[in-house]
Amino acid sequence: MKKRILGNSGLKVSTIGLGCMGMSHGYGPASDKKEMISLIHAAYELGVTFFDTAEVYGMNEELVGEALAPFKGKVVIATKFGIKKVNGKQVLDSQLEHIRQSVEGSLKRLKVDTIELLYQHRADPNVPIEEVAGAVQDLIKEGKVKYWGLSEAGVQTIRRAHAVQPLTAIQSEYSMMWRSPKEELLPTLEELGIGFVPFSPLGKGFLTGRFDKNSTFDSSDFRSIVPRFTPENLGANQVLVNLIKEVAAGKNATSAQIALAWVLAQKPWIVPIPGTRKLGRLKENLGAADIVLTPEELRDLNDALSKIEISGGRYPSGSEYAKRTGN
C-alpha cells in the first residue's frame, strides 16, 4: 500500500484508510467483535495504517483499541470529541473541561499514550473555535495529542482554528455523489496546507451499485432516514451508478474501485476512509489505490458528472444532522 502525507503536517498514512464506525454503529446491529478484530488485523496486513473512530460511536473505540494494540507505533488512529449521548440523543459539547475528559477516556479505550489525530467532531456554537484550538494545543504540549483536525467544519471556522493551532486534516463527506467540497473547501485546504479525509467516499454504499429503488433499510440503519435513500431518489440516481459501471468495465475494475480512484485523483493529500464489515469488500476497496485514471479519463468523467443532478439531500432537511454541517 502506498502512503500519502496529510497536508504540510508530515503525518504519513496509507493512501486509503479504514473507517471503523460501521462495524458497531450507524448501519444496523453491531457485527461480531471477534470478526471485526480479524478484519482490522487483515486491513493492517494489507497495508492499512490509518484507522478512524470516535467517542460517540458506542463501543467502537474499545474495538479499535483492542484490535490495534499489537501494532502500537505502526498505525495512526484518529478519533473525535465533541458529541455525547444524552438520553439516547446526540448533543454537541466542546466545553473545555469536556474536551479533556473525552481525550482521557479515548486514551484509555484506545489503549494508547497519545492520540495521533484528534478531530472536533462537529463545531459547537456555544464554544468559540479559538478556545477549542487552545484546549487542543494544551493537550498537544502535554503529549496526549499529536495532530488535530475538524470534521464537517466551514472554511471560516477552519481558518480561525488554524490560526491558533495548525490543523493537520479536515474530515468531511466527499464522493462522486457529493462534490460540493471542490467549490470552496478543497481550495482553502490547499492554500493552508491541510490534508483532507473524506468519509462516505462510496456514497454510503450507493456508488458500489448494491442498491436500487427496491432496496430497504432497517430502522437501526442511518440510511433509513437519509433522503437520498428513498425509493424515488434511489431510482433517480441510478444514472450515476450506470456511469460508474461503464467506466469500471473499461478499466477492468469494480464500481467501488472507480469511485475511490476518482476521489484519490483529485489531490495527492486526500486520504479516503471507506468502511466495511467484509474482507472481500476491504480487499476490493484497497485495490483502488492501484487504479490510475488518466487526465483524459478524468476530464471525460468529470464532464459526465457535471451533467448529473443528484436527487435527495445528505441529511433530512432541518434535522440536527443538517444543522451541524459547514459551521
Residue keyed to cell 484528534? 118
User: Taking a C-beta distance cutoff of 8 angstroms, is the pair 251, 291 a contact?
Assistant: yes
Mention every residue, 6+ apart, whose C-beta is less than 8 A from residue 282. Answer: 18, 39, 42, 43, 46, 276
User: Taking a C-beta distance cutoff of 8 angstroms, is the pair 24, 36 a contact?
Assistant: yes
Cell of 301: 468523467
Residue keyed to cell 475528559? 101
Q: CB-side exposure of 118: number of CA atoms within 13 Å?
A: 31
Taken in order 128, 318, 189, 119, the sign of the CA dihedral is: positive
Which of 27, 57, 147, 174 does the annotation list as catalytic? 57
Residue 57 falls in the annotated catalytic set: yes
DSSP-assigned letters across all residues of 230-298: SHHHHHHTHHHHHHHHHHHHHHT--HHHHHHHHHHHH-TTB----B-S-HHHHHHHHGGGG----HHHH
Q: Are strands 3-5 and 12-14 parallel, antiparallel or unpaired?
A: antiparallel
User: Taking a C-beta distance cutoff of 8 angstroms, is the pair 199, 175 a contact?
Assistant: no
Task: Enumerate the active-site residues.
Answer: 57
